[in-house]
Amino acid sequence: MNKLLLTAAIALTVPMAAHAKSEFVKGDATLAGEAELGASLTTGNTDTSSLRGSLAFQQELGDWENEYTFSGVYTKDEDEVTAKRFYTELQGNYQLNDISYLFVNTSYEIDPFTGYDYTSITAAGYGHHFIDNETMTLNAELGPGYIYQKLDDESAETEGEDYDSSVVAHFVINFETKISDSAKFQQKFVGDWGSKFDGRSETSLSTNIIGALSMKFAVVVSYDNKPLDDKKSTDTATNVTLLYAF
């Protein structure tokens, strides 16, 4: 109960992130966003379909910088659903100075193929900009957090428990660099280390096509060092999507 109260208390601070800063969103705007979409369809001897999309916003108001992310993946092979993931993340950064900030982050994921009905992670801590110029950025975040994972019925029966929870050390490393005027490379790693280790890495290359439209190639690796029975530790996805900035 105390852990659940701690999670709720941290999560309640997220609505405070309704204010942000001037250099977070480029130019004079205080709100910017990106929409990403990818789809594939195969018919004939094999019938498969896949849809992947995300929507991300960045907001500035005062000393707060806010990020809102919503994404989903759905894949069907013949009549069988082989992938289904929905993810929401909210983060607020309070700027201490030009290179330091405090953050609060909460995320919620639904992915039945992991053996969990849902996973919720809440964290707060300190962030630092090591590099921040026109061609390259590098920042890192570190702080305490709490992870709660609700097992599905089958996994709960096998494991003998309904949920898995732990206080964690939450850390993020985010690197971005411009390769040319029309291309950029990004590498982001997120880790949560508690009673087990959960990590996610996304490596991507984006190339501008025309105007605000770009093509993005990404490799996403998710890792759980203590997966549930009959589940694998590592999931890898390779995606090609269209990206529209607004």
CB 177, CB 207: distance < 8 Å = no
CA-based R_g, the chain, Å: 19
Q: Which domain holds residue 76?
A: 2-245
Distance, in Å, from the CA atom of 161 to the CA atom of 157, rounded to the nearest integer, reads: 7
Q: How many domains does the chain have?
A: 1
- 155: domain CATH number is 2.40.160.40
Query: For 27-35, what is the mean pLDDT?
Result: 80
CB half-sphere exposure, 208, CA atoms < 13 A: 11
pLDDT at 30: 86
pLDDT at 5 over 80: no
Amino acid at 114: T
What is the pTM (predicted TM-score) of this model? 0.82
Q: Which candidate, 119, 117, 106, places its Cα nearest to that of 6? A: 106
Of the candidates 122, 111, 113, 180, the one whose C-alpha atom is nearest the C-alpha of residue 148 is 122
What does the mean pLDDT of the chain come to? 86
